[in-house]
Amino acid sequence: DGGITQSPKYLFRKEGQNVTLSCEQNLNHDAMYWYRQDPGQGLRLIYYSQIVNDFQKGDIAEGYSVSREKKESFPLTVTSAQKNPTAFYLCASSMGDTAYEQYFGPGTRLTVT
């Protein structure tokens, strides 16, 4: 089955700890993205990557970091510098051409207390 997987589904952390969210795709997509969604709000872009070993900041990159060492994988680290990390985190991928849509993983709900 082709698709995007994110793990874990739920994650709980104490304030001050870094945490890494996993995103893997086997769709052979070039582009991958991370979004954040807060309750009742729209999606906001954190980082995106069009090719391996390259990534760009989105609208709310502060307090986050990413890597893209493999085409299939785009992990997101939420650092202790992120002021309000509790949110629903969504990973997506696309073919990389503007005409193509994005496909989303099931998301990770992060709660930091």
Q: Which residues bind another protein (CB under 8 A)?
A: 31, 33, 35, 41-43, 45, 48, 50, 56, 88, 90, 94, 96, 98-107, 109
Spatial CA neighbour of 96 closest among 51, 54, 53, 66: 51
Least distance between another protein and beta carbon 80 (Å): 26
Least distance between another protein and beta carbon 113 (Å): 19
**Helix or strand or coil: residue 26?**
coil
Least distance between another protein and beta carbon 76 (Å): 15
Least distance between another protein and beta carbon 106 (Å): 5
Cα–Cα distance measured from residue 52 to residue 68, given in angstroms and rounded to the nearest whole number: 5
Name which of 16 and 40 has its Cβ closer to another protein: 40
Distances (CA, A) of 79 to 1, 28, 63: 32, 29, 5
Name which of 48 and 64 has its Cβ closer to another protein: 48
